Amino acid sequence: MPDPSAEVPAGGRRTGILGGSFDPPHLGHVSVARELIEALHLDRLLVIPARDPPHREVTLPAGVRLDFARRAFADMPGIEVSPMEIQRAGPSYTVDTLEALARRFPSDRLVLAMGADQFAAIHRWERWRRLPELARIAVMPRDGREPAPSPESAPIEYVVASVTRVDISASRIRQRLEEGLSVHLLVPETIRPDVERAWAGRRARHVTQ
């Protein structure tokens, strides 16, 4: 497997990309983002919330998720929250994002980080064969198991991003919020009160409908 720190053009940076719905951002996202910078020898990591994720529905409006992400990752060295997918109309295809980044930062070496589950389904992504042409793919293992591409997408080059996976899921958080329970110690405290208020408002609207 190739070294993610290799082949950076002169004057360029190793730029990681961590996309997702961030619905809402949680402490698992924060932990992984911090570790990816060291594990992949990144100069910076772009956290990119999706406006319209092609493979899942979102609960919070795009602008709210962007605001929460900016606050969740604020003041973290090397981590930048990008609004590029939120600002782009239509489905948030990763290939479009990588092509835009390659045009904007032609000297950067792009590294696309994803979970093992995403990697196993990469053959379902829009123009997925283009992805390894635009970026090095870095896969975060689940439960210590070696990532495995699907038969449809093999062979595809990737590197393993050895990070500590925190057992927190956005779906679990949303379930607690729907039940009116606190998400203390699950989402960053900088956004927790507003996250809980956002879901309280959702519950109130559902009751009155």
Is the separation of the CB atoms in 101 and 82 below 8 Å? no
Q: 43-76 pLDDT, tens per residue?
A: 999 999 999 999 889 999 999 999 999 999 999 9
Contacts of 192 (CB under 8 A, 6+ apart): 182, 183, 184
pTM of the model: 0.91
Please state whether the peptide bond connecting residue 155 to the residue before it is cis, i.e. omega within 30 degrees of 0: yes
What are the structural domains of the chain? Answer: 14-165 (3.40.50.620)
Q: 117-127 pLDDT, tens per residue?
A: 999 999 999 99
- In angstroms, rounded to a whole number, what is the distance separating the alpha carbons of residues 203 and 115? 31
Please state whether the peptide bond connecting residue 24 to the residue before it is cis, i.e. omega within 30 degrees of 0: yes
Is the separation of the CB atoms in 125 and 148 below 8 Å? no
- In angstroms, rounded to a whole number, what is the distance separating the alpha carbons of residues 33 and 73? 9
Place of tokens 């900016």: 70
User: What are 136's two structure tokens?
Assistant: 């090095």
